[in-house]
Chain A
Amino acid sequence: EVQLLDSGGGLVQPGGSLRLSCAATGFTFSSYTMNWVRQAPGKGLEWVSGISGSGGSTYYADSVKGRFTISRDNSKNTLYLQMNGLRVEDTAVYYCAKVFSPLHTFDAFDIWGQGTMVSVSS
């Protein structure tokens, strides 16, 4: 079964750091661009970051550029998001998401993790 399992969320003070992980099973992980998408409480979805299958290309939303770093370990079928300089407005459920096709970098997100909550508060 194709599955993504997010973890690593928690409560952190403004300016702090967290690292999220997403373990993938059931598909050839290295063939797919992987992404992080977040959802603030009561709000809509916001794309945060993406990384190509090889890890050679990374992409970021302007709101997190310079503070967040996406990476992947294809030997462990795991995606990461290192979040530094966290702000109150980063509070959200963070989902990892797999793209639908190995042929396109960003066509659609067909498999989602269950989400991990990140709360930034003093």
Chain B
Amino acid sequence: QSALTQPASVSGSPGQSITISCTGTSNDVGRYNYVSWSQQHPGKAPKLMIYEVSNRPSGVSNRFSGSKSGNTASLTISGLQAEDEADYYCSSYTSSSAPVVFGGGTKLTVL
């Protein structure tokens, strides 16, 4: 089962917007609206930022937004802040033998 494809790294300056892509297949991202995004700071457990493509859990800043087109999902962070510097992982429900697949992760650097 192949992982979803994310860029290894992205960067942006404070106040700017960045977008992280997550490319899957017609068996996962393209078929289901169960795409989520998690943020992980070094040495910490992941934190859910977006669920079901574009929904924010209670308490997550509205600077974080999600979308999907075809087999590719995207996470956009607007008004970048220093605290946003972290690793970001997408995940999706999949019709493969194992029901969940993660992306390889993207390291966000705030310049």
Q: Which residues of A contact B (CB under 8 A)?
A: 35, 37, 44-47, 50, 59-62, 95, 100, 104-110, 112-115
Q: Which residues of B contact A110 (CB under 8 A)?
A: 48, 51, 57
Contact of B89 among A45, A59, A60 (CB under 8 A): A45
Binds A, one of B10-18, B19-27, B74-82, B98-106: B98-106
B100 to nearest A CB, angstroms?
4
Q: Which residues of B contact A (CB under 8 A)?
A: 1, 3, 34, 36, 38, 40, 45-48, 51-52, 57, 87, 89, 91, 93, 97-105
Q: In the bound complex, what is the Cα–Cα distance between A48 and B46 (angstroms)?
A: 15
Q: Which residues of A contact B87 (CB under 8 A)?
A: 44
B102 touching A46, Cβ below 8 Å: yes
A106 touching B102, Cβ below 8 Å: no
A105 touching B99, Cβ below 8 Å: yes
Question: Total A-B residue pairs with C-beta atoms closer than 8 Å?
Answer: 70
Q: In the bound complex, what is the Cα–Cα distance between A110 and B91 (angstroms)?
A: 12
Q: Which residues of B contact A50 (CB under 8 A)?
A: 99-100
Query: 20 A–B contact pairs at CB < 8 A?
Result: A44-B87, A44-B89, A44-B102, A44-B103, A45-B40, A45-B105, A46-B102, A47-B99, A50-B99, A59-B98, A100-B48, A100-B51, A106-B93, A107-B34, A107-B36, A108-B34, A108-B91, A109-B48, A110-B51, A112-B45
A11 to nearest B CB, angstroms?
19
Contact of A62 among B36, B91, B98, B103 (CB under 8 A): B98
Contact of B34 among A47, A59, A106, A113 (CB under 8 A): A106
Contact of B52 among A62, A108, A109 (CB under 8 A): A108
